[in-house]
Amino acid sequence: MPEPNLLQSRMSHAARTVWVDAARDILIAGGVSALNLRGLAASLGVTTGAFYSVFSGLEDLHEALRQTWLDQNVTPMIDAMAKAGPDGFQQYLAALRLTVLEGGVDPRFDNAIRDWAHSAPRTAEVLAGADAQRICALERMFRALGDDEKRAPIRARIAYFHQVGYSTLEIHDVPDERLLNLRFYAEALTDRTDLMVCETADEVRQFILTGKPPEKTKK
């Protein structure tokens, strides 16, 4: 059996997670103006008093919500690219694998945070830091792809602005069409034509998953 203090800590963490997840859903659906204590408690079917058993106040919840965004939408991609090793194109594929195939980044959450940042200096600060981290990861990728110290940061910004724009505009491609289009995005953004050997969406998917071009059956 866990020690009483450890068990209490786990229960408190679980309770905070429930509140933060509910707050996340409200933020995405209605923006920060919809994120109030009464509505949040109602969505969970509890009283507002239950909130103060796990949070000191709304700002405590807001900070937990910002940290959740970092943990879910920012850190995983940076870590995935780092774990891909020194090959820049493998880093690019790692980012695609997480964002496109695994859905590891929720663009709705990104959009909600960006909207919130317009009215909250602390959220704007966290967002600016996350943007800088993501761009730095892309700059390292472009350095690994062979770009010099002048080109790498500019290309990193272009690639990042492309992704932000794609999310902000809420473009919803047919899944197979999006995979096929990735061949051209990769060429435009990285100057690499590796994905062009793929003739079908499934081949693009397998290339991204394995990091290797598809094996063609000899006729």
CA-nearest of 129, 140, 154, 162 to 91 is 140
Residue 207's pLDDT is 97
What topology does CATH give the domain 1-55? Arc Repressor Mutant, subunit A (1.10.10)
pLDDT at site 218: 54
Predicted confidence at residue 171, as pLDDT, reads: 83
In terms of Cβ atoms closer than 10 Å to its own Cβ (0-12, 13-18, 19+), residue 120 is middle
99: tokens are: 């964002």
Amino acid identity of 156? A
Q: Provide the pLDDT for residue 1.
A: 45
What pLDDT score was predicted for residue 12?
Answer: 66
Per-residue pLDDT tens, the chain, 219 aa: give them.
Answer: 445 444 344 546 788 999 999 999 999 999 999 999 999 999 999 999 999 999 999 999 999 999 999 999 999 999 999 999 999 999 999 999 999 998 889 999 999 999 999 999 999 999 999 999 999 999 999 999 999 999 999 999 999 999 999 889 888 889 999 999 999 999 999 999 999 999 999 999 999 999 999 987 554
Closest of 27, 20, 30 to residue 60, by C-alpha: 20
Which pLDDT value is given to residue 7? Answer: 33
Model pLDDT for residues 118-127, shown as the tens digit of each residue: 999 999 999 9
Length of the chain: 219
Q: What is the pLDDT of residue 4?
A: 45
